[in-house]
A and B are shown apart, each in its own frame.
Chain A
Amino acid sequence: MRELTYNEAAVEAIAEEMRRDPKIFYMSTDPIAPLLKEFGPQRIKATPIAEAALTGMGIGAAGSGFRPIVDWRQVTFCFVAMDQIVNQAAKIHYMFGGQVKFPILFRASVGGGGRIAAQHSQSPYSMFMNVAGLKMYLPSTPYDMKGLIKTAIRDNSPVISFESGRLMTQKGQVPDDDYAIPLGKADVKREGTDVTVVALAWLVHEALAAADTLADEGVSVEVIDPRTLVPLDAAAIRTSVQKTGRLLIADEAGPTAGFSAEVAAVVTEDAATFACLKTSVKRVCALQVPIPYSPVLENHVFPDRNRIVAGVRELLTR
């Protein structure tokens, strides 16, 4: 099978959907060259650096029958648009009694590892998970990226495509045929029987590497990639934990009120799953700090395969 990078898979998905549906258009600063070449400046709009305006314009165009894609680029750039995201995009369908649909795709790269410090490195998805009215996902592979972005473009609600900055150039197999991955469906990236590791994006790959190491020690790790954050596939996570009896959650964001906290709650508030737990839940997250610049500092802040291995060993020796 052919291979595409994570970023190429996203661009290919968007191009295929734009060929299929003339109502889709794209707004971003510095347009993506292949899209601009194929679709021209009327559909691939080069915009001022004004994320609040772009986000609001996406909402208005969506309510007027179009299907806009608004590319915030770095997730940190969208914080100037928080009124438009939280007060407008998330609420407008509900607040107006569901009169019309607002199909919008917002794109934002998240994560760290680029040595670009605090204002360009963040994984704030749990801030958005907390807002009713937004769907969102964060893929770990080119295959998942393409399938999820296609579904999101066809969805009739605002969807945020969180995309891992660390994975942009990572290659993976992507079939030629047309496929889509439903929102709200987790993927078992590796089957195992002793410990469940729930991870997203780059940390899925770290978890898989950790599972290899642990396999050499005779420990069988199951790696669950939720892929979609809202709606979250609670059933898949619970099913895995009911099998293994142990749960480690790895997250590139800090622990406080985070994705990892939500997963822990999903497992522990379910009586049937809680009854299967052999020990308490373990979280392996970024430190609760702004992301620092110096490699020594940044590497220390983020969890990695070594910390996942250590966490799993701890779960097994309690």
Chain B
Amino acid sequence: MTNLSPNLPPDKQREMLRRMLTIRRFEERASADYLAGKIYGVVHCYIGEEAVAVGVCSALDRDDRIISTHRGHGHCIAKGADLNRMMAELYGRQAGYCKGKGGSMHIADFDIGMLGANGIVAGGIAIVTGAGLAAQMEGKGGVAVSFFGDGASNAGPFHECLNIAATWKLPMLYVCENNMYAAQTPAAATHALNDIASRAAGYGIPGVVVDGNDVFAVHQAAHAAVERARAGAGPTLIECKTYRWRAHTERRGQPDLRDRGEVEAWLRRDPIALLAQQLREQGEIDSAGLQVMEDEIAQALEAAVAFSEASPFPLPEQAIDDVFAS
């Protein structure tokens, strides 16, 4: 891993591990509850990519703004969202972040600068670029981060927004989570580049490739890009090479079309195991400490499920609420 961790306080390093582990355990629970019929629609799991959300969000302040994708649980948790309200939203309950109107693909928490998961590929890039414009106009040094996948980098809004952000020197990070597949289709079938980051050159901005399973490498790249953005020097495109462990969506008996050897090679590079190993070697956590962390996360998730089950479903007539703001 990147030899950066000594620069970060041990508490912060442990917190990064805790958030990555929380994302994974949250999604394992969400997947199980989905297959048990307690969660509806679709659930897209982020498992395997946790180092990207946590590496980037650990370089941000609470007031900085992010936007996410259909695969959004990880970004919510990394930015500090409340597990109870997240789980209640998946359960379709009144106490959910969106009062049961959004579900897995539309969790937002504007109070912590989480401008929402977004069900349309590339749909969030322009919205968060507007948040970057707002940060620039506010003049308080805020930044905005667009998380999106390799699939979105082939769509128009990516190109339109990189051009505008570069021209206006917006305080933006464009974080491409390259998990090598747009739904089921391999990246090589949809673009001709080895590195999506090389597209940055076409817009006159820096493009950086990092190991997306190395949380410190991601943090380091994000930190440098945040400094650059806060200084008024404009946006950075960061490509994080990573891998989606699970299928595009959770579904029972769904065949994985990917090469088995490829999947297993990525499973051996588990971003959480890599970080835990490094923290052990640095003496910042031991087996007992890890177990305590696991137990605390398990308790928090049990509490989130209990909170969700205790929350009533919305009333049918609430379907007509909130079409317009008051």
Contact = CB atoms under 8 A, between A and B. Distances in A.
Nearest to A80: B156
B204 to A, nearest CB: 14
A65 B98 contact: no
Interface in A52-89: 52-66, 68, 80, 83-84, 87-88
A25 interface: yes
A63 B131 contact: yes
Interface centre among A25, A52, A62 (most CB of B within 10 A): A52
B126 A135 contact: no
B135 interface: yes
A102 interface: yes
A98 B321 contact: yes
A66 B167 CA distance: 21
Contacts of A95: 98, 101-102, 106, 116
Nearest to B122: A83
B223 to A, nearest CB: 23
B133 A61 contact: yes
B164 interface: yes
A164 B65 CA distance: 38
Contacts of A189: none
A97 B130 contact: no
Given A25-B137, A95-B106, A59 B120 contact: no
Contacts of A99: 97-98, 108-110
A55 B130 CA distance: 9
A133 B126 contact: no
A133 B163 contact: no
A117 interface: no
Interface in A150-165: 156-157
Interface in A6-55: 25, 42, 47-48, 50, 52-55
A99 B116 CA distance: 11
Nearest to A59: B127
B129 A133 contact: no
Contacts of B163: 48, 50
A104 to B, nearest CB: 10
Given A96-B98, A97-B102, A97-B322, A60 B129 contact: yes
Given A56-B125, A63-B131, 13 more contacts: A50-B163, A52-B157, A60-B126, A60-B129, A87-B120, A88-B118, A93-B322, A94-B323, A97-B100, A98-B99, A99-B109, A101-B325, A135-B324
Interface of B: 65, 67, 96-102, 106, 108-110, 115-116, 118-120, 123, 125-135, 137-138, 144, 156-157, 160-161, 163-164, 167, 321-326
